[in-house]
Chains A and B, each alone.
Chain A
């Protein structure tokens, strides 16, 4: 039946070549138009099961909250310049469109105008809706003391008794001792550590201002005001403890799924950020999940194009070398391109966009699709050599190799399609587009390749050229080797078993590389900047979000999150609106402090006999900070240690002198009273004003929150509240990722964000890989059983795969190649791809019989070697991918296909004797 069908195709190709050519051309134009619509989407969301509650929560958060996607602008350099940079760039970001139109690169402008015209109908929105680079200072100025927890307020309340310098210094020391020195509880969580850093930062700014006032009379008023603000309000900027890095956070009006915005809004912003930084002699760059997604998309798009061309070139060269001719390989490549265009066109019907796994489908299909042409050309040339006419040769070729091609394509496609059982949407799509794509290429080849060969014959006839002189290209040495194995099967089998046992012994040591950064392109700025953020801020930009349906729930979740050791800090509306009970408790104390400060005198002059007291308090302050520093060092609170080092130095770094230590050394016990009193006059007055304003006992309600806070934390429908949790470490390292995800899950199960999504993806892919491997073996075996209608032949065909698989995994373990998120999918694929060699050999063996075993391996062996080599070359080209995940997949497939080929050539001759 199949043979008859294949003969018919051959006959049509031979007798209606032009008509068939026209049909193929029309189909190619049609599918090409479809293929052009395919996009690249490298988001993790697209890989997760779409019915997963986390994905649903993810979509919900994106729909209701503005702050769910943040682009982090990382600025490095001089502290004052960084602050000026943040102030300057923020309004420009909010009108980025105008900046792009006048300053953007051609590429950015082009994508911007394209997007603007298509978005015009939907209503144009700015690319960025908000920029955060400092706290809501006015709100803190008016309500600051109501935001301090009761216990902390009790410990530091003395700070608000008297604003004159000497009593202030005494009270500062008392507060520091109560709050930190006598209890290490205050550094027990990251949030508390952060508070300690902020407290020390205030002291650092105060010391700086005092120092400047004492050495110079210039700007002493500004310095005194700055000192008072530093203690009462703290630094409003998102600055690293060592003040060498500043963060600006831009919230887009699009989300990670809107890839059309990547070039104009992300690359456009990057151009602005870098150009302004260069003008101000600073360094700046972008990071955050959405930026990383843009980088991955750019890398994979580039990889997809260049690697497909590289694979095609490699296959072509291989073809020319083995067939020692030019026209047939050229036709095979044309046929392959047509097939891939059809396959990509069909893929557009199946999936809208290509994901992290499917991005390389063209390269995979080059490796697999070329095999069909090789089998056809190989047999066609053999038949011509035997003297058959092109007409008969093409019909007989399809009859001889067509069934093998169909079976091979179906078994491999079935292996791919088995991936449809996967939970991960990414793997499902990978299986679907490659499985269907392979069938499409097979169908395209059965129609196109005979047509192209006939066209060539017609061209020759038209040009009056002689028919090609085909040479016998069968691999006689392969035939001889198979004959030798066949006649020494006991020895051969023993050798095979020993090799298998040897390599198999290494399989248990095959490990999994969970570090996703090893999959990413090397040297990506977004990754490097994220690592720098972690180092400087003890915080990663890969945040995780959750929602609360009430303020009470929000407060409970915030408290729970702040206690977790893997969480660096929590952004929540609870920081701006404490629950009613807490506000009630604080109100009385805040009122008392307000009255106390209101009745306090300012500008009290320090008397000569108080100088020694002032000096002692400075020494006491230094001692307190040293003790806090040592406590932090022992407790592993590096940020506090680092911050304290800026004030009191560090015994491990003698070259570093702290500014407080330097101030004490410069005074040498001699306190310049005049200057101190002048400083105190301004300082005490401004400090008093600040405290009175901050000690506002009014209950804070939602309505009182400024818009900038409201929009960040409260949903558009005012029904839910957003909490953002920032990890302390690098979530791309699996151990940390697991600890962080477990901590977050301990707080709530309705979470969303790159870290938990990636964690679940790893888990799901691991499970999918195992299940897919099992089902692929089953499906391939059943397909073989149907094809051969013989259990024995089906089992024999499985043998090269069995041995090849052991050799592959054993070899990987032996050479230290690890399994990765991407190459784990290679395992079930090898089952589908590696089975082909055995199928072709057994098909031919059944046709020709045992007596012809030498010629079977010389002829089919040749085709099998060439097809395997082309597949290996194609997959091998993935090693050159900038996105290293593709490289890991390509390498595993390269090894797997090679091992299955080797097993087919040496295991089958030893086995077939027994049939």
Chain B
């Protein structure tokens, strides 16, 4: 029954796609982008199709990240999977675990004979999607990293020098005190609390988020973010929340509206927030590197990415995989990548694309757009800062959100909350391990 329905849906989608010349091999590409990003993806696909005559890439939008992943899974079960599926970074372990459903990118590239040099990609970006043996499993597509956004007018309004050093949390704390003393109602706000204040925090301070190299070394990984460094940070944030220095607005990026509206002075959010802040903010703003606690761990190490990568699905013809290889090589080429980086604010995936952007004078014209790149590439990633590879991770993030809310509300101490999140998360990891035995 389900196969029938899925088949019908798939047939319906195919019927809607433009008719292509039969001589061309078709490559299906499912993605999660709408609006401006959707247009930019469409432009990339169009440029690829125009650049050669052998292959036709057909891009389809399948809903948000979770919906796209679910669509890909359902399609695979019905034998109707696309060639390329966009999967967000937290779905990485799910995709990796699906041996027999995915075809690793390094394999696709080797077989297709397309141009492919793994060393051309930025280590901190590709690391998230690469095995410990250095084999690239999926192609990084859109990646960003958290930074600190500063409302300069708000600082000035509170009598603080807007150029004051905000590189450490120690300094930020001083500024928060001053803002509060000046009667500011929202000194600090954040988006994506788990991603920024636990996942990136751990990488940045070079402390483990989970055992077994954050899950890269095996499914028998256990969460470890109830360590001293993380607990100290969360406990500080909890104190700030109680004192009204940190304002909690929700689990996603709800705080963006407060910052863009000029209510909040400091905002920890993805570097990809650039376009929105630039177009809406009616105040003078600044991008700064994410703060770190001076003297804790090896900070500043490097931050990790968020975003999505492209996975190649199993079960298609060799000729079609050749087309997939060509398309992925096209996406990685310097001009295409540099353009994507400049248009979207996402990180470039290759070093060459970053250099081309610098050479074109883009960073001078748009100050602050290179902060994220520098912060990601400052140091060679360690086992703690390569990324995370944890099963059921979307759900573990939900658990972390719940426990953090208990801290912000003053119901639990940071240690209690993190211990509980670790314990609950570990149960899910064990189930994931069992499902992939």
Bound together:
no
